[in-house]
Amino acid sequence: QVHVVESGGGLVQPGGSLRLSCAASGSIFSINAMGWYRQAPGMERELVAAITRDGSTNYADSVKGRFTISRDIAKNTVYLQMNSLKPEDTAVYYCNAQLGTFKRRDYWGQGTQVIVSS
């Protein structure tokens, strides 16, 4: 069992920056990858960024060059640094922890709201 908790959301103006944090607890050594997803009203949840156990990262095309996912292993925490924010980045952002070698298991945080608006 893995528990993940997001924090750091809020209201920012276009062009601003925000850093989201995701703290993991439980069977953290079983985690294969962690990622950030987001879901805007009326839209499907989409992958924003992910980082694997070996530190490899991948990003959605819409956020490449603006968002950076990173981790602090000692703190069991993953971050999402969001720069040059756009109104279309407005969404609830969810932290995801992926477990399993043959059968994938996903654990989700409660979500944190990000609103980019003037």
Q: Tell me which DSSP letter residue 41 carries.
A: T
Residue 64, phi-psi category: left (phi > 0), alpha (psi -120 to 50), beta (remainder)? beta
Q: What pLDDT, on the 0 to 100 scale, is given for residue 42?
A: 94
pLDDT category at 16 given cuts 50, 70, 90 is very high
pLDDT greater than 90 at residue 52: yes
**Distances in whole angstroms, Cα of residue 107 to Cα of each of 3, 13, 33:** 7, 31, 11
φ/ψ of 54, rounded to 5, equals: -85, 0
Give the 3-state secondary structure of residue 28: helix
Q: What pLDDT, on the 0 to 100 scale, is given for residue 67?
A: 98
58 alpha-carbon distance from chain centroid: 12
The per-residue pLDDT for range 59-108, each reduced to its tens digit, is 999 999 999 999 998 899 999 999 999 999 999 999 999 998 788 899 99
Q: How long a stretch of residues is the chain?
A: 118
pLDDT greater than 90 at residue 26: yes
pLDDT category at 29 given cuts 50, 70, 90 is confident
* Own/partner long-range contacts of 64-71 (Cβ < 8 Å, ≥24 apart): 69/35, 69/36, 71/34
